């Protein structure tokens, strides 16, 4: 395995990495840093949690000029949280390269961002929409930017940012270097690469199943009615340090958060309904373990690196394999053990099979600890109801005569030999 000194990375940056406990490069860093440092375009396909941030920040910042106070580099991400996270890493590395870094994203005060842009940062990390806002207001000019990174490119296109990304690429310097990082490479990304990149080198790191190898994955059979009780049972038995619970919609996130809070758990929500300040506060409290449980939509599944997440729960089954890999990748970070638990209802097993085919492994099935007790209680209740029904039927059903009690009697109490009630008379 190559070391950071062999890649090479300057000593000042290495010292910062060592202080953060990073001593050996990951496979994606070994493959991407030399290519990016040489100034070549690259399309890098790598799963979540493999160290992509350093794979593009180190060579990007290495090639920038500290004494030139114009925008030289740009990192574009699909979400505010990912932009904040990358900017935080970049600002920590910035002193080693004598550079200034600015994060630009929606939900933050645009006037304050304009003021900071006036101080001429050299590296900008931002989301497509807010970057375009500043370009339209002429507070951001990108013709001096010759290096750009598109991080989580597949997610950006999925969220409808293709036109925005295209406009940003067209505004860059003509001799630009483009680094494209993505978990998957769909046709639209290949078309984007053909249009804007010059003979890009393709780098592919092993797909998601390798990154999930250290994560214990299980499936629990459930119903919508019992999900909440089963989740609480998991929390009580597992005693997680930090747990992330993924739900399908903002409404589901809100309802589940309130339900868990009523039961006394330290829980909060993260969704697109919150303001940027609220989202930042929730993430900070979760990172500092002031919260035990974070209920969220897929907004937190991409790129967020939170240490100490011991369990991930798919309260609602993800729609695609990529979403499953990104959710599960929030635990088991940096080689630590993790656990991912997925609730599946009877109607969702076809969807689960598609996910298993995508990650090329069968997920262990686990019987919920509550399910046997509930089934036994249900059987007891049904047996009791049947006994009560039989008892009630005996009370209300009375034979017409003593003949009706004879085994096999088909005359329903009518005696054809009776003078008083011969057959056929009423």
* CB atoms closer than 10 angstroms to residue 363: 18
Question: What is the predicted pLDDT for the residue at 64?
Answer: 93
Question: What is the predicted pLDDT for the residue at 381?
Answer: 81
Question: What is the predicted pLDDT for the residue at 316?
Answer: 94
- Stretch 159-175: mean pLDDT, rounded? 89
pLDDT in tens, 326-366: 888 888 765 567 899 999 998 999 999 988 888 878 888 87
Does the structure show a pLDDT above 60 at 406?
Answer: no
How would you class 238 by CB atoms within 10 Å of its CB: exposed for 0-12, middle for 13-18, buried for 19 or more? middle
Asked whether residue 178 is assigned to any structural domain, the reply reads yes
Q: How confident is the model at residue 184 (pLDDT cuts 50, 70, 90)?
A: confident
> Which one has a higher pLDDT value, 370 or 359?
359
- Stretch 78-103: mean pLDDT, rounded? 92
Q: How confident is the model at residue 70 (pLDDT cuts 50, 70, 90)?
A: very high
- Stretch 412-426: mean pLDDT, rounded? 55
Tell whether 199 and 102 lie within a shared domain: yes
Question: What is the predicted pLDDT for the residue at 232?
Answer: 94
How would you class 24 by CB atoms within 10 Å of its CB: exposed for 0-12, middle for 13-18, buried for 19 or more? exposed
Please give the structure tokens belonging to residue 249.
């919609």
Question: What is the predicted pLDDT for the residue at 420?
Answer: 57
Asked whether residue 316 is assigned to any structural domain, the reply reads yes
Last residue of a domain, one of 345, 369, 393: 369
- Stretch 302-312: mean pLDDT, rounded? 80
Question: What is the predicted pLDDT for the residue at 385?
Answer: 84
Q: How confident is the model at residue 390 (pLDDT cuts 50, 70, 90)?
A: confident
Does the structure show a pLDDT above 60 at 404?
Answer: no
Tell whether 128 and 92 lie within a shared domain: yes
Asked whether residue 184 is assigned to any structural domain, the reply reads yes
Asked whether residue 375 is assigned to any structural domain, the reply reads no
Asked whether residue 377 is assigned to any structural domain, the reply reads no
Does the structure show a pLDDT above 90 at 67?
Answer: no
Residues 6+ apart with CB under 8 A from 349: none
Contact by Cβ (8 Å): 332, 212: yes
- Stretch 151-178: mean pLDDT, rounded? 88
Instruction: Return d(Cα 89, Cα 57) in angstroms, integer.
Output: 9
Does the structure show a pLDDT above 80 at 2?
Answer: no
Q: How confident is the model at residue 298 (pLDDT cuts 50, 70, 90)?
A: confident
Tell whether 58 and 92 lie within a shared domain: yes
Residues 6+ apart with CB under 8 A from 403: 409, 411, 413, 414, 415
Instruction: Return d(Cα 295, Cα 269) in angstroms, integer.
Output: 5
Question: What is the predicted pLDDT for the residue at 178?
Answer: 95
Asked whether residue 195 is assigned to any structural domain, the reply reads yes
Which pTM was predicted? 0.66
Question: What is the predicted pLDDT for the residue at 265?
Answer: 94
Tell whether 159 and 260 lie within a shared domain: no
Tell whether 278 and 362 lie within a shared domain: yes
Tell whether 100 and 135 lie within a shared domain: yes
Tell whether 152 and 293 lie within a shared domain: no
Tell whether 95 and 133 lie within a shared domain: yes
Instruction: Return d(Cα 212, Cα 267) in angstroms, integer.
Output: 26
**What percentage of the chain carries pLDDT values higher than 90?**
46
Residues 6+ apart with CB under 8 A from 38: none
Question: What domain range is 125 assigned to?
Answer: 4-206
Last residue of a domain, one of 178, 206, 234: 206
Question: What is the predicted pLDDT for the residue at 372?
Answer: 55
Tell whether 233 and 168 lie within a shared domain: no
Question: What is the predicted pLDDT for the residue at 136?
Answer: 92
Tell me whether strands 201-204 and 42-45 are parallel, antiparallel or unpaired: parallel
Instruction: Return d(Cα 273, Cα 249) in angstroms, integer.
Output: 11
Instruction: Return d(Cα 353, Cα 365) in angstroms, integer.
Output: 12
Tell whether 90 and 27 lie within a shared domain: yes
Asked whether residue 393 is assigned to any structural domain, the reply reads no
Query: Closest Cα partner for 181 from 46, 372, 9?
Result: 46
- Stretch 248-257: mean pLDDT, rounded? 92
> Which one has a higher pLDDT value, 332 or 301?
332
Q: How confident is the model at residue 24 (pLDDT cuts 50, 70, 90)?
A: confident
Q: How confident is the model at residue 400 (pLDDT cuts 50, 70, 90)?
A: low
Query: Mean pLDDT score of the chain, rounded to an integer?
Result: 84
- Stretch 407-415: mean pLDDT, rounded? 55
**What percentage of the chain carries pLDDT values higher than 70?**
85
Question: What is the predicted pLDDT for the residue at 242?
Answer: 93
Last residue of a domain, one of 190, 206, 222: 206
Does the structure show a pLDDT above 90 at 100?
Answer: yes
Asked whether residue 35 is assigned to any structural domain, the reply reads yes
3-state secondary structure of 253: helix
Does the structure show a pLDDT above 70 at 285?
Answer: yes
Asked which of 127-131, 173-177, 228-232, 416-420 is least confident by mean pLDDT, the reply is 416-420
When divided into structural domains, the chain yields a total of 2
Q: How confident is the model at residue 206 (pLDDT cuts 50, 70, 90)?
A: low
The CATH number assigned to the domain holding 22 equals 3.40.50.300
Tell whether 130 and 153 lie within a shared domain: yes
Q: C-alpha distances in angstroms, 238 versus 4, 233, 310, 341?
A: 38, 8, 9, 11
Q: How confident is the model at residue 74 (pLDDT cuts 50, 70, 90)?
A: very high
Among 22-31, 46-55, 157-166, 233-242, the range with the most confident prediction by mean pLDDT is 233-242
Residues 6+ apart with CB under 8 A from 416: 422, 423
Tell whether 186 and 241 lie within a shared domain: no
């Amino acid at each position: 395995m190559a070391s950071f000194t062999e890649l090479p990375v300057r000593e000042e940056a290495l010292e910062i990495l060592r202080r953060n406990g990073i001593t050996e490069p990951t496979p994606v860093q070994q493959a991407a840093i030399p290519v990016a440092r040489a100034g070549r375009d690259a399309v890098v396909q790598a799963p979540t949690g493999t160290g992509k941030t350093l794979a593009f920040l180190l060579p990007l910042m290495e090639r920038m000029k500290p004494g030139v106070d114009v925008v030289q580099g740009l990192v574009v991400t699909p979400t505010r949280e990912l932009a904040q996270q990358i900017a935080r890493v970049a600002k920590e590395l910035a002193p080693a390269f004598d550079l200034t870094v600015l994060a630009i994203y929606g939900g933050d005060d645009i006037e304050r961002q304009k003021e900071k842009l006036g101080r001429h940062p050299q590296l900008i990390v931002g989301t497509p929409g807010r970057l375009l806002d500043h370009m339209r207001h002429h507070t951001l000019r990108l013709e001096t930017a010759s290096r750009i990174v598109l991080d989580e490119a597949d997610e950006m296109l999925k969220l409808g940012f293709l036109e925005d990304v295209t406009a940003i690429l067209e505004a860059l310097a003509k001799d630009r270097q483009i680094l494209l990082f993505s978990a998957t490479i769909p046709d639209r990304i290949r078309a984007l690469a053909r249009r804007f990149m010059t003979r890009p080198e393709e780098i592919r790191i092993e797909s998601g199943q390798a990154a999930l190898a250290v994560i214990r994955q299980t499936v629990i059979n459930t119903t919508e009615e019992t999900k909440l009780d089963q989740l609480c049972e998991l929390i009580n038995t597992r005693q997680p340090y930090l747990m992330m619970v993924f739900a399908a919609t903002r409404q589901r996130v809100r309802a589940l958060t309130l339900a868990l809070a009523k039961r006394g758990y330290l829980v909060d929500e993260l969704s697109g309904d919150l303001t940027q300040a609220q989202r930042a506060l929730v993430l900070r409290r979760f990172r500092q373990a002031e919260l035990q449980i974070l209920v969220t939509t897929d907004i937190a599944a991409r790129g967020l690196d939170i240490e100490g997440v011991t369990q991930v729960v798919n309260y609602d089954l993800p729609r695609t394999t990529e979403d499953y890999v990104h959710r599960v990748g929030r635990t088991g970070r940096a080689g630590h053990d993790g656990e991912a638990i997925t609730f599946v209802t009877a109607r969702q097993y076809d969807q689960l099979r598609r996910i298993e085919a995508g990650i090329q492994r069968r997920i262990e099935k686990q019987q919920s600890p509550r399910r046997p007790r509930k089934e036994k209680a249900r059987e007891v209740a049904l047996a009791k109801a049947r006994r009560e029904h039989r008892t009630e039927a005996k009370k209300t059903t009375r034979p017409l005569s003593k003949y009706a009690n004879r085994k096999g009697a088909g005359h329903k109490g009518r005696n054809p030999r009776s003078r008083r009630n011969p057959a056929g008379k009423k």
